[in-house]
Structure 1
């Protein structure tokens, strides 16, 4: 299970502290799939990063009793001076998994060819995203954090990513951030709407979207 306990996140701005997340409480069980809706800047990606451990909350705690991926396609932890292969080895060491067969898995999935042996500073943003996604597929996580990840690459690669994630790993827990109503309806059984730092839970996806659209109309 993953539990957010009274999680609050503040950022310092020129106008003073800005509260992005305000006393957030939620939990996700194994195999459960939840969606998070909110307008741009509402704090959805911040929540994903906090759940992953890439960012710390200002207050509150995140309890994890299952392994959690970094946000898919997020390459913020990569060492740009190292090659793709060296980054694979580095991340495997961080997560305590064997590098055996991982390079081949990432190579086949990310389709980077000779660039896998080049420093990441020579990668385009799309190549970096494909590498990050490929490594996420090579490490066996209990929960995947998905922040509009299926938009990575061309249509063929997006379809390949959907198959790899939602068919082959359908038994895994997922936390999904997306603006696509069909995407959330297809994959999630519970939806949260995030607005003004507060979060509201909905079992009915259509009800969640009615709330979300009302928020958009107020912008």
Structure 2
């Protein structure tokens, strides 16, 4: 059985070659340095700037949008809103009417707290009048600075998912971890809607001194 797992991991790491880039993201997350190469990928209907690292698996995501619900990459100041409901009418109108924001932004942080992807600590931005400042260079590079206090929640794999998923679920998680390691891309790290249950414990995830440099052209 152990040999079987190693074969699957070898296949996953061989199938996805290391994808390097010159993008950078640095931040302090709860006082610890987070530094990696971000990418821009589509999650659902929107394009997110995502930064992923391993040991443990971590993902920091940033979305920038206009007030009419479109993705945005224009320079300016974006107000950070509730990542769970970024287009809630009340505060969208409030911030748009102020006339000083280019659009809205959402931040989500995910960290594996028990391997292999058994438990997670997740942070989502709220409506705290925080901002992300975006500038763009003539070479097509986007730069952004940000800090945010995220609403922290804890997630644990459901017993039913562990039991009924069996070896297949475990193998899938190991393959996902291998893909993230070799490519830098997030592979099913988000626990929500993926066989995990949110726990009653809550806290705060503090992100400070965030800086992103991303080639978008």
Q: Which has the higher helix share?
A: 1
Would the TM-score normalized by the shorter structure come out above 0.5? no
Provide the TM-score with structure 2 as the length reference.
Answer: 0.26
- Indicate the structure with greater strand content: 2
